[in-house]
Structure 1
């Protein structure tokens, strides 16, 4: 069991809750909040489609050791980030 990954996963789940449910979009770095059309949808997309699956994957990975664990985590993170980034830039920015 990897306690460092477990702590990171729990923090990601907490950020997911704060962004998706509590609409704390100020936690998201790199977005000009004036350029976003729908901040509620931004919170749902970033919190629910990026932080939540990534946090769950990191928590599960903290309990299970498997080969190429780091490569899998980085690959999944990049795919999720790319998808969310494209969605936000195409649908939510003016």
Structure 2
């Protein structure tokens, strides 16, 4: 995930920078530095952003808010739970 993708994801979720920072466990200033490219985007930040997107998709009842990779993984888990993957 790039900083532009992070910013785009946040906007698609309808979150402010403050809300996204809270969702991924950063201060507002630290999050702003990520979006501006002042700080390198770590894998932990990207994973936290994907998790925030999943949470928002569930909260808003819109699976399309979650990144495609997360939707695919969620479908695989659902198949395992329902026994369709066996």
The bucket for the TM-score relative to the shorter chain is: 0.3 to 0.5
The normalised TM-score by structure 2 is 0.36
Larger relative contact order, structure 1 or 2 (CA cutoff 8 Å, min sep 6) = 1
